[in-house]
Chains A and B, each alone.
Chain A
Amino acid sequence: MVISRKRFRRSLRNLAPTIFVGVVLTYLFAPVIVTVLFSFTTSPRLSLPIEGFTLEWYKSAFGNPLFIDATRNTLILAFVSAIVAVLFGTSFAFGITSLKGRRRSIALTGSLLPAAIPALVLGISMAVFFSSIGSTQGLINAAIGHAVLSMPFVILTMNARLETFDFTTLEAARDLGASPLQTFRDITLPLIRTAVIGAGLLAVALSLDEFVVTWFNIGNEMTIPILIWGLLRRGIDPSINALASVVLVSLIIIVTVSNRLTNRTEK
């Protein structure tokens, strides 16, 4: 009886935090749930109880003549920008590890700046820059923009991984006569592989969802977020929800996998 009363008191004390977490999660995920729900209902307006489920909106989303183009460009952007961000970001994170004190924190803070200013300012400054060197807007410009946007996240992820990285194994390998290339291929890479893949997936997720920088730099090319934006401005079209749900599900899968990988500490 004593135990149960204790437990009761504890669960009472945990009540407020539980409610708080529940409210915040509802708040964060309400838009997600609404989007997915409405992608399956016949009426774009709400009527309770909800009746009439349909796949009509998915058909019209995939049937949009711009859909194929948009998907292709979105994937190209995600792939190219993630590779650039991962290569440059990982290298940068390794560079930071051998800096000390003030220089280290300056390098780290500086590398996070693109994530700390509004994407709008980043987007317009790049558009201004590209036009000043006479480059026409297009996929390449947008890909560079995405890479710059993703770099801070890759650097943060890799920096966290390298904090627990045992650099003496590298010295040991070198002492035993391995070339720098061999050391990297046989020791470093296997040790950081999952973190690198995790960071890469994060960069892919950022790029798939990116709208602002893309919009100012891509010219007339189409991506999925640009397509969604176009549809949104034309008014209520339930195929937006279908399109969005597809993106949502891919993003959630990618981010979950990425998160799993970066949290796993390999030995």
Chain B
Amino acid sequence: MNNGAATRRLLLPGSTLYVIFFAIPLAILGLYSFWTQVDFKMHPGFTLEHYHAVLTTSLYRSVFLRTIIVAILTSIIVVPIAYILSYIMQFVFPRKGRILFDIILVSMFSGYLVRIYAWRTILGKEGLLNAALIQLRIITKPITFLIFSNWSIAITLVGLLIPLALLPISSSMVNVSKDHLEVAEDLGSRGLKMHRTILIPMVLPGISTAFAISFILAAGDFVVPRMVGGTNGVMVGNLIADQFKGLAPNWPLGAALAISVLAILIAIHSVTMRLIREFTRW
């Protein structure tokens, strides 16, 4: 089993699938972003007009900005929750941790579309939350800012992303033993200081992955804004989806939008990681 030819044979089918149906399609998407479209036909060439449009059209700029804000808001809620959960599962309730993890994992697979739709039922003007609050006489008029706003988008995304952020954080926390933390506490790192100087730096790879996953998936989603975002709740995902499935498709423009999103995501992610590293240095 330990020779190169056998290894290559084992890796070959999967790699081939990835190259043909993942890498090449992405490359073609990148290529198309420089092409033009005339009367629904693609014309090869090299033009930067779509990127120019992305950068200069005020609608696109505001949608990009809004997407980034929502995605950052979502990730800075999701990642700490996932970190605290992971800490509780491993160090506070170590015996119940496993079952808790399984339960949270199950929620990850409890119907993507349906969960989004259910949030509309919960947060809506005549929704569950308002009905309950009115019955309990906490409020007299329905709260309306919760639905069809950046808030409803963030609330829904947070619910979708907590399990996904939990996975990398808890898998890097598994390597930390209780002894580590006890030694740290004996040496005077207690409470928040222990987290800041010991635990967070130790699980930083997991935190970084969790941040990247939640940021990317939040910024790339188009179903959540479409269903709970209302008429003003357009995010970049909607712009992209419309270029492929909308009334007036424009693939090259959609491709340029998608590539721009990926580029921005990578840039923001690297800046954030820098910041986290600064913050946790001791």
Contact = CB atoms under 8 A, between A and B. Distances in A.
Interface in B92-124: 92-93, 98, 100, 102-119, 121-122
A35 B114 contact: yes
B258 A121 contact: yes
A114 B25 CA distance: 12
Contacts of B127: 46
Interface in A6-54: 14, 17, 20-21, 24-25, 27-32, 34-35, 38, 45-48
Interface residues of B, number: 80
Interface in B5-24: 6-11, 13-15, 17-18, 21-22, 24
Contacts of A95: 7-11, 14
B126 interface: yes
Nearest to A21: B88
Interface in B106-152: 106-119, 121-122, 126-128, 131-132, 135
Interface residues of A, number: 81
B262 A148 contact: no
Nearest to A114: B22
Contacts of A167: 1
Contacts of B69: none
Contacts of B126: 45-46
A132 B20 CA distance: 13
A66 to B, nearest CB: 16
B111 to A, nearest CB: 5
B109 A244 contact: no
A248 B117 CA distance: 13
A251 B115 CA distance: 13
Contacts of B255: 124, 128
Interface of A: 14, 17, 20-21, 24-25, 27-32, 34-35, 38, 45-48, 84, 87-89, 91-92, 94-96, 98-99, 107, 110-111, 113-114, 116-122, 124-129, 132, 144-145, 147-148, 151, 155, 167, 170-171, 205-206, 209-212, 215-216, 225, 228-229, 232, 240, 244, 247-248, 251-252, 254-256, 259, 263
